[in-house]
Structure 1
Amino acid sequence: MSLVLIDDFLSIVLENKPLLDVRAPVEFEKGAFPTSTNIPILDDKQRHLVGICYKKNGNEAAVKLGKKLVNKEVQAQRVFEWKTYLSENPYAYLYCFRGGQRSGITQSWLEESGVSISRLKGGYKAFRNFLMEKSQELSTNTKTIIIGGNTGSGKTILLNRLDNTVDLEGLAKHRGSSFGKFISSQPSQIDFENALYYKLIQHSAQGHKHLVIEHESRNIGRVYIPEVIFENFNKAGLVILHTPLDERVEITYEEYIINDLAEYTTIFGQEGRVKWYENMSAGFDRIKKRLGSERYLIIKNLLAQSFAGSDEGHKEWIKILLSEYYDPMYEYQIKKSSLPILFEGNAQEVFEFIKNSEKSEFI
């Protein structure tokens, strides 16, 4: 029986190949690859028992226990689930942690049932090492342009108009502020890293001269950009987006009030507005000390009044928050920053500057 091993990891990333992960659910939840689906050969309890056996009695005894736990009936169920997945993803590859026994057994059982699948040589560990090393290399050699600007300037909107970007906040599922949490939870740290590695490798393969990202701290919510890559990002030039305050209020209102309220209502129904209000209120509580007691009370009262009345009323506290809290903070950050400022302008001017930079050698 010929069981195929593959280690062309680059093609997996560039082609977004589907991956069948047969590790235990607890391993998958800790971190997996963006295109992977978990259909484990051993559940968490079985894996735990086999692990204890391996430590006490060695590999042979552990394999024997594994076969006992996954009896013929369980094996048939596993094979059925894998074949169902492969009927929808016929070009998928297979992996376990090190590409050894679990994926090898899976591969042989599928082969016996008439289905061939290739497995990753070295498994999850080898593929992740490839992603880390390749991404560090690419981030070292890629020129980065960072889009900065005051809160609400429309940096993400501008980012989405360009094709040589990586949306760090999108990958982190967080908008990078005290109010930036989405309803859906953030990915695990490893999931975030793997998704970022994929994007960096795919970006490089598209032949862009520059990588464009938003101005971020290393932490985005509870996940963080890997240190080496963050340092490489910050060997960059800064392009500052200037947007009038009234326009920034409208952008913030649209995103945090209109869009978020619609999402909360879609997911939670009639309770959605209350849950949204509680989330916003908690955001202000987190920055109470930095706001100062007087400003905190003013904004909280305006939030409560607007929630009970017209949504348009939210623009009043948004304007205060942007001009009196976020703007001074960003000015301080810019003064402290060592990043060279390459250009400043409005959205269209910044867009044209970045597009033109792809055609020239001056950056």
Structure 2
Amino acid sequence: MSELYDDFKSIVLNKTPLIDVRAPVEFKKGAFLNSVNLPIMNDEERHEVGICYKNRGNAKAIELGHSLVSGYIKEQRIQAWSDFIDANPDALLYCFRGGQRSKISQEWLAERGKEIVRLKGGYKAFRSYLLRELEESTLHFKPIILGGRTGSGKTIELKKMSNAIDLEGLANHRGSSFGQKITPQTSQINFENNLTYELIQKLHDGFEHLVLEDEGRHIGNVFMPESFISLMAEAPLVILETPIEHRIEITLNEYVIEAQKMYECAGFENVLEAWQESIQSAMNRIKRRLGNQKHSEVCNIFEDAVQEQKKNGSYDKYRDWVEYLLREYYDPMYDYQIQKRSEKIVFRGNASEVHEYIKSVTLFSGRLK
């Protein structure tokens, strides 16, 4: 078996496990799906070696690296790699450029009788491949944009479509003023990498039409690729229409019930207070758009709902808060934006009608499951 591997498409299609031996600070900035960070040097060690490299050259930097990662520390790191390889025999190894760090890791493993192939060109080469594919992918599919007012259930319906990509899921953000989650939002690099993984897989499956949720230039702190912004702006728009009563229930479940469960799972000592603080911060961020009077009204409605929950554990009063947000904040904003793109609307309907329409459009141009 070759010591180097550069069939990046197969890595994506096979969801190949990857060992990233870069330092944690590098991994945090951007990595790949199915990768685990098992660094050969931690952040402090890498920093010291970097300074040595600048001041004294490559040979002395390598010497320092071997002295810093030796003995028990070295054995711990080799054992972590070995354990991962045992659990994932098809795993591959990479560092930044596919150079010294991954080569040394590979050699140390070989000394322990463990074989692993490393990525040719490392992170940099794989990342460059994904960026090229991201740019070129827009030439190989026709987008269908799924729009609809907040709470209409667009994400719910997207998850039922095998030819859809959940952009908000990839960004780890619900795409609205109240869309921030407890877990950190995906980095820009990881969003682009993960989106490209999805695109490669969907196009390999033969889909010519891909369904995407109607998004602006950014989802939270993550920005859409420029090529996608242009493509989506010209794409046909399908509007999911959902009764207000159903929208209230969907939004209540997402913003209140499930959100509080996330705080509970995250181990917050006082779940209700932590969640309440996040919602109040979100309402303060939309104060200018709402205006002073409406902002005061929505805050009072919310406070009444919180007190009701504290008193008897009921979520019922949050429905009034959700309805106010939908009618007074989200709907006017959405209606204004959609009016400017009315010529792109090709269909309106409820969930089942939308599915049937999209199926009829894509039936002869891509595999449907």
Give the TM-score band, short-chain normalised.
over 0.9
Say if 2:17 and 2:91, in contact at 8 Å, map to a contact too: yes
Pair 55,232 (structure 1): closer, same or farther in 2 beyond 3 Å: farther
Question: What residue in structure 2 maps to residue 256 of structure 1?
Answer: 255
Question: What residue in structure 2 maps to residue 358 of structure 1?
Answer: 362
Say if 1:174 and 1:180, in contact at 8 Å, map to a contact too: yes
Question: What residue in structure 2 maps to residue 330 of structure 1?
Answer: 334
Residue type matched to 2:118 in 1?
Answer: R
Q: C-alpha distance in 2, partners of 1:92/1:213?
A: 32
Q: C-alpha distance in 2, partners of 1:186/1:136?
A: 23
Map of 1:124-273 to 2, 5 A cutoff? 124-268=123-267, 271-273=270-272
Question: What residue in structure 2 maps to residue 49 of structure 1?
Answer: 48
Q: How many residues align?
A: 360
Question: What residue in structure 2 maps to residue 103 of structure 1?
Answer: 102
Question: Structure 1 residues 118-127 or 199-208, which shifts more?
Answer: 199-208
Question: What residue in structure 2 maps to residue 85 of structure 1?
Answer: 84
Pair 266,101 (structure 1): closer, same or farther in 2 beyond 3 Å: closer
Q: C-alpha distance in 1, partners of 2:149/2:230?
A: 22
Q: C-alpha distance in 2, partners of 1:184/1:153?
A: 24
Q: C-alpha distance in 2, partners of 1:335/1:227?
A: 23
Shift of 1:299: 1.0
CA RMSD for the aligned pairs?
A: 1.7
Question: What residue in structure 2 maps to residue 39 of structure 1?
Answer: 38
Q: C-alpha distance in 2, partners of 1:157/1:281?
A: 26
Question: What residue in structure 2 maps to residue 313 of structure 1?
Answer: 317
Q: C-alpha distance in 2, partners of 1:217/1:179?
A: 16
Q: C-alpha distance in 2, partners of 1:315/1:73?
A: 58
* Secondary structure class of the residue paired with 2:36: strand
Say if 2:305 and 2:321, in contact at 8 Å, map to a contact too: no
Calculate percent identity across the aligned residue pairs. Answer: 50
Map of 1:103-122 to 2, 5 A cutoff? 103-122=102-121
Pair 163,149 (structure 1): closer, same or farther in 2 beyond 3 Å: same
Say if 1:3 and 1:107, in contact at 8 Å, map to a contact too: no
Residue type matched to 2:355 in 1?
Answer: F
Match of 1:347 among 351, 355, 367: 351
Q: C-alpha distance in 1, partners of 2:63/2:188?
A: 35
* Secondary structure class of the residue paired with 1:98: coil
Question: What residue in structure 1 maps to residue 298 of structure 2?
Answer: 299
Shift of 1:337: 3.0
Residue type matched to 1:78 in 2?
Answer: R
Q: C-alpha distance in 2, partners of 1:55/1:140?
A: 44
Shift of 1:37: 0.6
Pair 85,209 (structure 1): closer, same or farther in 2 beyond 3 Å: same
Residue type matched to 1:348 in 2?
Answer: S
* Secondary structure class of the residue paired with 1:46: helix
Say if 1:96 and 1:123, in contact at 8 Å, map to a contact too: yes
Q: C-alpha distance in 2, partners of 1:77/1:301?
A: 56
| TM-score, normalisation: structure 1 | 0.95
Q: C-alpha distance in 2, partners of 1:141/1:219?
A: 23
Q: C-alpha distance in 1, partners of 2:48/2:112?
A: 28
Shift of 1:56: 2.2
Structure 1, unaligned stretches of length 5 or more? none
Is 1:61 the equivalent of 2:65? no
Q: C-alpha distance in 1, partners of 2:268/2:43?
A: 35
| TM-score, normalisation: structure 2 | 0.93
* Secondary structure class of the residue paired with 1:280: helix
Residue type matched to 1:199 in 2?
Answer: E
Say if 1:144 and 1:237, in contact at 8 Å, map to a contact too: yes
Say if 1:235 and 1:339, in contact at 8 Å, map to a contact too: no
Question: Structure 1 residues 208-217 or 258-267, which shifts more?
Answer: 258-267
Shift of 1:170: 0.7
Q: C-alpha distance in 2, partners of 1:157/1:75?
A: 47
Pair 119,126 (structure 1): closer, same or farther in 2 beyond 3 Å: same
Shift of 1:328: 1.2
* Secondary structure class of the residue paired with 1:349: helix
Question: What residue in structure 2 maps to residue 29 of structure 1?
Answer: 28
Say if 1:181 and 1:221, in contact at 8 Å, map to a contact too: yes
Deviations 1:231-279 (A, max 9, x none): 2333311111111222211211122122222332343466111111111
Question: Structure 1 residues 116-125 or 272-281, which shifts more?
Answer: 272-281
